[in-house]
Structure 1
Amino acid sequence: MKRYLVLLAYEPGGWEAATPEERQVYVDGHNAFHAFVDEHGRRVSGAALADADTATTIRRRDGRALVTDGPFVESVEMIGGYYDIELPDLDVAIAAASMLPPAYTVEIRAVIELDDAGEQVG
């Protein structure tokens, strides 16, 4: 099994503005994703995230940590949630992510396992 992080990006306010029928599309998409991943692998974790305007960004400059309120980049979309999953391969991860609500832009990233020395495992 390979581990993937599935990032869910969408325009802020979509859920709040959605009709009950549109909200059901979100719920159905997540339920289909959950069922598919549970059948083909496993969900390690997942969560919704607070809006981007609540973010805190930390940058290192000249040996100092600079802390800024708000997201690092301005974007029409924000990362609003994630799933950490294990599936056989990227093709299966793509199939799973394709079941998520169509309002999302979905990014799939392989998780790289590192040993205590920082070397890639596997």
Structure 2
Amino acid sequence: MTSYLILFPADREDEWAVKTPEERQAVYDTDLEFGRLLEQRDGMVTGGAELDTCQRAHSIRRGPHGTALTTDGPYAESAEQLSGFYVVSIDDEQALLDAAQVLVKAHPAVEIRPIESQGD
């Protein structure tokens, strides 16, 4: 099976922080619906996580002369913030794209990237 990384790059931390428990559950229910749709298409969610936005982040960048520079957030320069991800396995990419359409009910944007096989 081919593995894919499903990214949620546009979820807003400030909006999530003020959601009621019921509104948060609606997001989780949408994510569960994605998993069910994926299974109906012979795929599966094999991993994933909601990223913790309350803890301090660190950034490591290559500095002058190849040295590593470690700083506390803000995060990597980006107009959007990554809030979570799934790793999924499925053979039919179009089936994945079809199933992933449900995710935009709860997430403003969904990015899907194939994971390169490391070869056996």
Query: Which AA in structure 2 matches 1:31?
Result: L
Alignment deviations for residues 14-67 of structure 1 (CA, whole Å, 9 cap, x no partner)? 223224553343122111011122332121101110128732111123221111
C-alpha separation between the residues in 1 aligned to 2:62 and 2:56? Answer: 20
Q: Which stretches in structure 1 are left out of the alignment for 5+ residues?
A: 116-120
Equivalent pairs counted in the alignment come to 115
Percent of paired sites with the same residue: 34
Structure-2-length-normalised TM-score: 0.80
C-alpha separation between the residues in 2 aligned to 1:51 and 1:19? Answer: 17
Bigger proportion of residues as strand: 1
SS of the residue 1:98 aligns to = helix
**RMSD after superposition:** 2.2
Q: CA contact under 8 A between 1:59 and 1:67: conserved in structure 2?
A: yes
Structure-1-length-normalised TM-score: 0.79
SS of the residue 1:78 aligns to = coil
Shift of 1:86: 0.5
Bigger proportion of residues as helix: 2
Q: CA contact under 8 A between 1:57 and 1:67: conserved in structure 2?
A: yes
Q: Which stretches in structure 2 are left out of the alignment for 5+ residues?
A: none
